[in-house]
């Protein structure tokens, strides 16, 4: 496994350093950094996030997931998370990659194998595990194909399916299989999170959301909390605050206007909830982020 991780680290690093993007799986990302990073937020789409070197800490509604070389996170629905690189240096950079988790591929594999997931368990929409040799080998083979475009077009879809299959039969396979099942709790919550994302800046009635996904309010609340570790309204609040942070980086001098734009009616409430989530009031937080960006670019 050590040799496989070494090759994975090398291939991700070389991809990151390329000035022109080669042909690769749509939605795939690579990340290399030589320094620890302050906390950053964003919506984590359904993804396999695999660390080849270093370590990262991701939090979701107070639940903390720390993962390092040879470990991964899988998000099965869109989730507003906070992340921070905690181990990185010029000698040993943090090196990681993300591969989209595709519902269509999981559904196809379930249909072909006749497999199911069993009854819904307490698995959340974000899980952590250690990659076995078979999964790491499949990921490395996918990255090797990037250097051979003709082979990539023919062979990459099969390797991507293999990676999904390894995940479906891994430590959290049942939760991942439910991504491909239309009537599962994960699929229901996925539809709900997408609806909230389209209406995050408006007042949301939980009854309207429940009608949209076709369940009772009680069922929606129960399933939503089981998968995301928060209520629909808490989820909406985190989306608002993360969107506000992105807008403030572009418009740092108009805190009140940004608060109104993402749905807050009171500047004081916006500042209070922003500080509770990010640790500092909006102006100070954005100034710190800007200073970090200047230092990195220097």
For the chain, give the DSSP string. -HHHHHHHHHHHHHHHH-SS--S--TT-EEEEESS----EEEEE-SEEEEEEESEEEEEETTEEEEEETTEEEEESS-EEEEEEEEE--SSS-EEEEEEE--HHHHHHHHHHHT----S--S--SEEEEE--HHHHHHHHHHHHHTT-HHHHHHHHHHHHHHHHHHHHTSTTHHHHHGGG-TTSHHHHHHHHHHHHHHTTTS---HHHHHHHHTS-HHHHHHHHHHHHSS-HHHHHHHHHHHHHHHHHHH-TT-HHHHHHHTT-S-HHHHHHHHHHHHSS-HHHHHHHHHHHHHHHH-
Q: What is the pLDDT of residue 58?
A: 96
CA 15 vs CA 3, 31, 101, 151: distances in Å: 18, 9, 20, 17
The residues spanned by each domain of the chain are 2-180, 182-298
With 0.95 as the threshold, say if the pTM is over it.
no
Q: 2-180 has which CATH code?
A: 2.60.120
Mean pLDDT by 10 residues, the chain (298 residues): 94 91 88 85 93 96 94 96 95 97 94 69 82 98 94 96 96 90 89 95 95 96 94 96 89 86 93 91 81 40
CB distance 176 to 106 below 8 Å: yes
The count of other CB atoms within 10 Å of the CB of residue 204 is 17
Query: Residue 237's closest CA among 278, 207, 289?
Result: 278
Report d(CA 17, CA 25) in Å as an integer: 17
Q: What is the pLDDT of residue 38?
A: 67
As a three-state string, the secondary structure of 245-290 is: HHHHHHCCCCHHHHHHHCCCCCHHHHHHHHHHHHCCCHHHHHHHHH
Q: What is the pLDDT of residue 291?
A: 58
Report d(CA 160, CA 141) in Å as an integer: 10
Same-fold call for 2-180 versus 182-298: no
Report d(CA 190, CA 115) in Å as an integer: 21
Select from 1.10.287.1080, 1.10.10.60, 1.10.3720.10, 3.40.50.2300 the CATH code of 182-298: 1.10.10.60
Integer-rounded Cα Rg, in Å, for the chain is 20
Q: What is the pLDDT of residue 233?
A: 96
Q: What is the pLDDT of residue 293?
A: 42
Task: List Cβ neighbours of 58 (8 Å cut-off, separation of 6 or more).
Answer: 44, 64, 65, 66, 67, 73, 81, 82, 83, 84, 126
């Amino acid at each position: 496994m050590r040799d496989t991780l070494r090759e994975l680290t090398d291939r991700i690093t070389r991809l990151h350093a390329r000035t022109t993007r080669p042909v690769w799986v749509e939605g795939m990302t690579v990340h290399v950094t030589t320094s620890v990073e302050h906390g950053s937020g964003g919506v984590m789409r359904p993804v396999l996030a695999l660390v080849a070197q270093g370590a990262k800490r991701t939090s979701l509604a107070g639940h903390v997931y720390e993962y390092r070389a040879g470990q991964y996170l899988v998000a099965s629905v869109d989730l507003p998370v906070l992340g921070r690189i905690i181990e990185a240096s010029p000698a040993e950079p943090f090196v990681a990659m993300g591969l989209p988790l595709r519902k269509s591929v999981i559904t196809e594999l379930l249909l072909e194998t006749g497999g199911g997931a069993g009854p819904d368990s307490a698995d959340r929409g974000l899980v952590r595990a250690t990659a076995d040799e078979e999964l790491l080998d499949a990921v490395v083979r996918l990255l090797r194909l990037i250097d051979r475009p003709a082979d990539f077009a023919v062979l990459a879809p099969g390797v991507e399916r293999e990676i999904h299959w390894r995940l479906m039969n891994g430590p959290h396979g049942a939760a991942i299989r439910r991504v491909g099942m239309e009537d599962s709790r994960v699929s229901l919550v996925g539809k709900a999170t997408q609806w909230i994302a389209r209406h995050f800046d408006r007042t949301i009635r939980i009854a309207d959301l429940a009608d949209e996904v076709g369940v009772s309010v009680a069922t929606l609340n129960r399933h939503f909390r089981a998968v995301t570790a928060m209520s629909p309204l808490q989820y909406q609040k985190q989306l608002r605050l993360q969107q506000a942070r992105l807008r403030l980086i572009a418009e740092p001098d108009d805190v009140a206007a940004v608060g109104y734009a993402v749905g807050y009616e009171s500047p004081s409430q916006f500042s209070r909830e922003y500080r509770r989530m990010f640790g500092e009031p909006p102006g100070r937080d954005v100034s710190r982020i800007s200073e970090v960006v200047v230092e990195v670019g220097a």
